[in-house]
């Protein structure tokens, strides 16, 4: 009996499903080994308690552990991107101390040691023999037969830090935090409130420069106690299912990048998004009627403020019925969308999962006849209240329901709608009104009853099991439906709820945040942790969804968001206007320049997404991710990296016109605005007037930029500039393609490899077939960080005079006179 474990769970308010509050849970450990057997690719350990533990190697650096209280069921996961093929395994018989060693035949294989007595316990070592993690002998694998709960504790060094876990309104490192995984509709969430809209049970650990990762693939309500209850251990478990987890050792270097690459190889990567989706997006609840939408588009173009997308919230619908248009306010949607397209705007529409129960509504009637809706415990169609009133809900864990719902997007695609925004898909419902009890932030009435029934793609189960994947599977239905209907186009799907693997289908944003400086500061740890949780296409509602930001707060928020992947302003109903021009001419000038900076850097951002799809690299990065040996980056939560070459230090407090910036150890950094050099491992107070985002380029990097444009359709007609930060040798990369479609997967793209060695810049372009006819040409190279003009500039051995030097910004601008330049040499 483990009464102490139950006590701490109760104190934290996270009693496991089904546990009796009046009696302690009957926790029992797995016990000692009863029998060990092995197949070619898996070791099986039967324990005295009847539990079964399975261990396999997904790769030489990734270990998979499954503990089932009884005989394991069919292995089924919504998170895993493709069927796995474990490596051949080697198992040595138990030694005198009762230890069994598992490994693969790979030269640098991780090793797993199974301690067989007095309790079966697992320890994982990396390929060099370094300890990765170990079960805590005082809290080994355990289960509660009365509630079906499972958990395990791992030994913890008190200085070990933890990052990831998806969307959490918490500090940058999640050490000494208690985290719950249960997708929840939490508008206007306070910092520290947990859980929020989406949960990803994956983290990266960091200690003294070495990392490892752990992914707990369990879709029940689960939890992680990362040293909060006891700093000597961390614990994770769930209210049901198996103790099914993966350990990512990080390879020989034990780097965070290796961990993320292995995790994203397992759970999937975000396909290259359409180029237009990386532009600026304007939204509010709601732009209505259609005349107001046209006005918004007109004002952007008349004021020459770059933008690509306008979002339509729920008021475009007829009585909030999904896949309909209001006959009063949006009587001619095709004409509206077509008119916006002529001025180069895309339209994204919101789609909720709730389908209004109305027999005169063809979509509801069709779904009912097909039997695709979630059922209640009695087997009847589950109904709950949302925006349209009483609704039924597609069971997105059923392939037939996903295909049906996905097909409904066809009518909107035919009208010209470019992208879709899945909301309320935690799933969220309106709780019943009660006069005797308050409505809580995590009220049970705000989602389906836990005994509701799901198909589970052949593994039927309750909502308690499938709640956390409902939103992800809605995004899957949307993505796959659009892909089938428009196979030549890349879908844009935005989702509020998700689980591990959601990145395969959608971009995500941090839900209904608040117009406050505190929430602005919170965006950096929230978005960087989402990003290193394997979800690269992330953003937060600019200005804060709830409330009305001041002109200064909106301008600073726009700056902070301008170099995050998903770039959208959004606002609640009844809030003040929040367009870039809403605060008067001076702020309009500042906000225009901020958005122009984003558009100037689109070639770089697009390249980062191509790199993510290829190898899993994070687009948005906390500083520690790139500099794990620099302990001063470990808790730094007010700066971030875009890729590895841009350091962003936004202003996050009111009234500030300068800020302190830390430059991570190992690289020098060049100020984007004035060319000043900052040595790695140092702090500096830098100027940050209201019209400037503090931005720095890594010495040795070449960053592709373009002139300011008003929408992405203009990109093919403007030349690129390579901005080269002098002061170190380095290698960079530029990816280019058509901006949509999948020709790049068949070689229709261009890759430019860029190398800087001392004062020589070399370019090597690799292109295939028709891609080279559509991509932007490199028209200029700007060298940043020069104290004086060079004596000579030569291109491919020929001295040129087509250059200019700006002493105030320390920039030398060189025209390339074509796109076939191989080397530019500066003589200083």
DSSP string, 253-296: TT-HHHHHHHHHHHH--PPPPPGGGGS-EE--TT--SHHHHHHH
| pLDDT surpassing 60 at residue 18 | no
**What was the pLDDT predicted at 718?**
95
Same domain for 666 and 541, yes or no, is no
CA atoms within 13 A on the CB side of 270: 31
Q: Which residues pair with 621 in a beta bridge?
A: 641
Same domain for 647 and 763, yes or no, is no
Same domain for 241 and 179, yes or no, is yes
**What was the pLDDT predicted at 26?**
82
Q: Which residues pair with 702 in a beta bridge?
A: 724
Same domain for 171 and 232, yes or no, is yes
Going along 669-759, which residue ranges are E strands? 669-671, 677-678, 682-687, 695-698, 702-705, 720-725, 730-736, 750-757
Phi and psi for 207 in degrees, rounded to 5?
A: -150, 120
**What was the pLDDT predicted at 9?**
29
Q: How far, in Å, CA of 616 to CA of 503, rounded?
A: 11
Structure tokens at 161: 């830090």
Find out whether 648 and 694 touch, Cβ atoms under 8 Å.
yes
**What was the pLDDT predicted at 350?**
98
Name the residue among 356, 365, 370, 267 with its Cα closest to residue 320: 356
Sign of the CA dihedral running 137, 138, 144, 145: positive
Name the residue among 29, 25, 70 with its Cα closest to residue 52: 70
| pLDDT surpassing 50 at residue 2 | no
Of all residues in the chain, the percent with pLDDT exceeding 70 is 96
Find where tokens 């597609």 sit.
394
**How remote is the C-alpha of 415 from its chain's centroid?**
30
Split at pLDDT 50, 70, 90, the class of 801 is: confident
Same domain for 683 and 724, yes or no, is no
Phi and psi for 485 in degrees, rounded to 5?
A: -75, -35
* Terminal Cα-to-Cα distance of the chain (whole angstroms): 76
| pLDDT surpassing 50 at residue 13 | no
* Domain boundary residue, one of 568, 600, 632: 600
* Domain boundary residue, one of 232, 267, 302: 267
Q: What is the pLDDT of residues 685-699, one digit of tens each?
A: 999 999 999 999 999
**What was the pLDDT predicted at 771?**
53
Find where tokens 């099986």 sit.
44
Distances from the Cα of 215 to the Cαs of 195, 272, 384, 499, in angstroms? 18, 24, 33, 11
Question: Residue 101: CB partners within 8 Å, gap ≥ 6?
Answer: 91, 92, 111, 112, 113, 114
| pLDDT surpassing 50 at residue 22 | no
Q: How far, in Å, CA of 695 to CA of 563, rounded?
A: 10
**What was the pLDDT predicted at 434?**
82
| pLDDT surpassing 50 at residue 12 | no
Q: What is the pLDDT of residues 94-105, one digit of tens each?
A: 899 999 999 999
DSSP code for 382: P
Residue/partner pairs of 444-447 with CB below 8 Å, 24 or more apart: 446/184, 446/185, 447/184, 447/185
Same domain for 380 and 326, yes or no, is yes
Find where tokens 């060094």 sit.
157
| pLDDT surpassing 90 at residue 676 | yes
Q: What is the pLDDT of residues 149-163, one digit of tens each?
A: 999 999 999 999 999
Same domain for 675 and 809, yes or no, is no
Same domain for 409 and 457, yes or no, is yes
Split at pLDDT 50, 70, 90, the class of 817 is: confident
CATH number at residue 647: 2.60.40.1180
Question: Residue 230: CB partners within 8 Å, gap ≥ 6?
Answer: none
| pLDDT surpassing 70 at residue 735 | yes
Structure tokens at 563: 């170099």
Please check whether residue 277 lies inside any domain of the structure. no
DSSP code for 546: B
Q: What is the pLDDT of residues 491-519, one digit of tens each?
A: 999 999 999 999 999 999 999 999 999 99
Please check whether residue 611 lies inside any domain of the structure. no
Find out whether 650 and 559 touch, Cβ atoms under 8 Å.
yes
Same domain for 37 and 149, yes or no, is yes
**What was the pLDDT predicted at 793?**
96
- Mean pLDDT over 802-824 rounds to 92
| pLDDT surpassing 70 at residue 777 | yes
Name the residue among 357, 372, 364, 478 with its Cα closest to residue 425: 478
Same domain for 736 and 814, yes or no, is yes
Q: How far, in Å, CA of 266 to CA of 246, rounded?
A: 10
**What was the pLDDT predicted at 537?**
98
Strand order in the sheet with 355-356: 355-356, 389-392, 384-386
**What was the pLDDT predicted at 25?**
57
Structure tokens at 748: 């229709």
Find out whether 578 and 551 touch, Cβ atoms under 8 Å.
no
Find where tokens 């039924």 sit.
392
Q: What is the pLDDT of residues 374-402, one digit of tens each?
A: 999 999 999 999 999 999 999 999 999 99
- Mean pLDDT over 641-653 rounds to 98
| pLDDT surpassing 80 at residue 15 | no
Q: What is the pLDDT of residues 76-86, one digit of tens each?
A: 999 999 999 99
Distances from the Cα of 65 to the Cαs of 80, 215, 469, in angstroms? 14, 10, 21
Find out whether 720 and 705 touch, Cβ atoms under 8 Å.
yes
Q: What is the pLDDT of residues 159-200, one digit of tens each?
A: 999 999 999 999 999 999 999 999 999 999 999 999 999 999
| pLDDT surpassing 80 at residue 770 | no
Burial (CB < 10 A; 0-12, 13-18, 19+), residue 808, is exposed
Please check whether residue 613 lies inside any domain of the structure. no
Same domain for 650 and 532, yes or no, is no
Same domain for 566 and 668, yes or no, is no
**What was the pLDDT predicted at 549?**
98
Find out whether 123 and 208 touch, Cβ atoms under 8 Å.
no
Q: How far, in Å, CA of 420 to CA of 351, rounded?
A: 7
DSSP code for 743: G
Structure tokens at 483: 């892909």
**What was the pLDDT predicted at 433?**
85
**What was the pLDDT predicted at 773?**
56
**What was the pLDDT predicted at 775?**
86
CATH number at residue 335: 3.20.20.80
Task: Report the 10 Å Cβ neighbour count for 591.
Answer: 25
Number of domains in the chain: 4
What angle in degrees, to the nearest 10, is found between the helix axes of 585-600 and 551-561?
Answer: 10
Structure tokens at 440: 């809580």
Find out whether 330 and 337 touch, Cβ atoms under 8 Å.
no
Strand order in the sheet with 43-47: 33-38, 43-47, 52-59, 62-68, 243-248, 210-216, 199-207, 161-166
**What was the pLDDT predicted at 769?**
57
Split at pLDDT 50, 70, 90, the class of 291 is: very high
Q: How far, in Å, CA of 378 to CA of 592, rounded?
A: 57
Of all residues in the chain, the percent with pLDDT exceeding 90 is 93
- Mean pLDDT over 780-808 rounds to 95
* Domain boundary residue, one of 600, 633, 649: 600
Please check whether residue 301 lies inside any domain of the structure. yes
| pLDDT surpassing 60 at residue 19 | no
**What was the pLDDT predicted at 23?**
40
- Mean pLDDT over 479-483 rounds to 98
Find out whether 827 and 812 touch, Cβ atoms under 8 Å.
no
Average pLDDT across the chain, whole number: 95
Q: How far, in Å, CA of 722 to CA of 814, rounded?
A: 10
DSSP code for 20: -
Q: What range defines the domain where residue 245 resides?
A: 3-75+82-267
Find out whether 271 and 707 touch, Cβ atoms under 8 Å.
no
**What was the pLDDT predicted at 377?**
98
Q: Supply the residues annotated as catalytic.
A: 423, 426, 512
Please check whether residue 61 lies inside any domain of the structure. yes
**What was the pLDDT predicted at 795?**
96
Please check whether residue 272 lies inside any domain of the structure. no
Structure tokens at 125: 């070592």
Q: Computed over its alpha carbons, how large is the radius of gyration of the chain? A: 27
């Amino acid at each position: 009996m483990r009464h102490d474990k139950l006590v701490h769970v109760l104190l934290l308010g996270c009693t496991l499903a089904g546990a009796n509050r009046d009696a302690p849970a009957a926790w029992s450990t797995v016990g000692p080994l009863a029998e060990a057997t092995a197949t070619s690719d898996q070791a099986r350990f039967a324990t005295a308690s009847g539990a079964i533990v399975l261990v396999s190697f997904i790769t030489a650096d990734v270990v998979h552990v499954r503990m089932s209280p009884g005989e394991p069921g069919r292995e089924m996961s919504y998170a895993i991107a493709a069927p796995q093929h474990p490596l051949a395994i080697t198992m040595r018989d138990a030694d005198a101390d009762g230890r069994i060693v598992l490994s693969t035949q790979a030269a640098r294989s991780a090793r797993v040691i199974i301690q067989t007595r007095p309790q079966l316990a697992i320890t994982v070592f990396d390929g060099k023999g370094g300890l990765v993690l170990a079960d805590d002998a005082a809290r080994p694998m355990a289960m509660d037969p009365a509630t079906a709960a499972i958990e395990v504790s791992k030994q913890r060094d008190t200085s070990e830090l933890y990052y990831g876990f998806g969307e959490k309104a918490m500090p940058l490192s999640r050490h000494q935090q208690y985290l719950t995984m249960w997708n929840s509709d939490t508008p206007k969430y306070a910092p520290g409130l947990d859980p929020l809209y989406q949960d990803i049970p994956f983290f990266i650990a960091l200690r003294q420069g070495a990392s490892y990762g752990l992914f707990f693939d369990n879709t029940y309500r689960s939890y992680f106690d990362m040293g909060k209850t006891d700093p000597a251990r961390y614990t994770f478990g769930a209210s049901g299912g198996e103790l099914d987890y993966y350990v990512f050792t990080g390879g020989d270097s034990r780097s965070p990048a290796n961990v993320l690459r292995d995790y994203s190889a397992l759970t999937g990567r975000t396909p290259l998004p359409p180029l237009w989706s990386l532009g600026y997006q304007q939204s509010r609840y709601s732009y209505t009627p259609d005349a107001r939408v046209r006005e918004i588009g007109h004002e952007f173009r008349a004021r020459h403020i770059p933008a690509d997308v306008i979002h339509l919230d729920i008021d475009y619908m007829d009585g909030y019925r999904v896949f309909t248009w209001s006959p009063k306010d949006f009587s001619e949607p095709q004409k509206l969308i077509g008119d916006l397209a002529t001025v180069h705007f895309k339209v994204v529409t919101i789609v909720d999962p709730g389908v209004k129960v109305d027999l005169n509504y063809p979509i509801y009637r069709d779904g009912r006849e097909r039997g695709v809706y979630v059922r209640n415990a009695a087997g009847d169609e589950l109904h709950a209240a949302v925006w349209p009133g009483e609704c039924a809900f597609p069971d997105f864990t059923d392939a037939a329901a996903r295909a049906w719902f996905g097909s409904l997007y066809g009518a909107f695609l035919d009208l010209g709608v470019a992208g879709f925004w899945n909301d309320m898909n935690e799933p969220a419902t309106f709780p019943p009104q009660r006069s005797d009890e308050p409505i809580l932030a995590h009220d049970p009435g705000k989602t389906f009853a836990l005994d509701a029934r799901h198909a589970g793609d052949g593994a039927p189960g309750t909502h308690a099991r499938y709640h956390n994947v409902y939103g992800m599977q809605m995004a899957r239905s949307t993505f796959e439906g659009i892909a089938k209907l428009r196979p030549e186009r890349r879908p844009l799907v935005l989702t509020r709820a998700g689980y591990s693997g959601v990145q395969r289908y959608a971009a995500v944003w941090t839900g209904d945040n608040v117009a406050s400086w505190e929430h602005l500061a919170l965006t950096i740890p929230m978005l960087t942790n989402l990003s290193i949780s394997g979800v690269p296409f992330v953003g937060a509602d600019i200005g804060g969804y709830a409330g009305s930001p001041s002109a200064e707060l909106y301008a600073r928020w726009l700056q902070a968001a301008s170099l995050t992947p998903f770039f959208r302003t959004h606002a609640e109903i009844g809030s003040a206007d929040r367009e870039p021009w809403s605060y008067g001419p001076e702020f309009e000038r500042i906000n225009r320049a901020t958005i122009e900076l984003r558009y100037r850097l689109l070639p770089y951002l697009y390249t980062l997404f191509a790199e993510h799809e290829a190898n899993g690299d994070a687009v948005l990065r906390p500083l520690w991710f790139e500099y794990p040996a620099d302990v001063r980056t470990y808790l730094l939560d007010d700066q971030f990296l875009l890729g590895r070459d841009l350091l962003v230090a936004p202003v996050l407090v009111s009234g500030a016109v300068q800020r302190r910036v830390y430059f991570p150890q190992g690289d020098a950094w060049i100020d984007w605005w004035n060319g000043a050099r900052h040595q790695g491992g140092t702090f500096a107070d830098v100027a940050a007037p209201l019209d400037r985002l503090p931005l720095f380029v890594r010495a040795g990097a070449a960053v592709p930029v373009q002139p300011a444009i008003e929408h992405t359709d203009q990109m093919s007609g403007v030349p690129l500039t390579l901005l080269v930060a002098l002061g170190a040798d380095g290698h960079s990369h530029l990816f280019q393609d058509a901006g949509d479609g999948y020709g790049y997967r068949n070689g229709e793209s261009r890759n430019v490899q860029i190398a800087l060695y001392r004062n020589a810049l070399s370019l090597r372009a690799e292109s295939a077939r028709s891609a080279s006819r559509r991509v932007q040409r490199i028209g200029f190279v700007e060298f940043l960080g020069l104290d004086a003009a060079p004596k000579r500039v030569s291109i491919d051995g020929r001295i040129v005079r087509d250059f200019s030097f700006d002493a105030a910004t320390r920039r030398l601008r060189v025209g390339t006179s074509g796109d076939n330049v191989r080397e530019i040499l500066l003589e200083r």
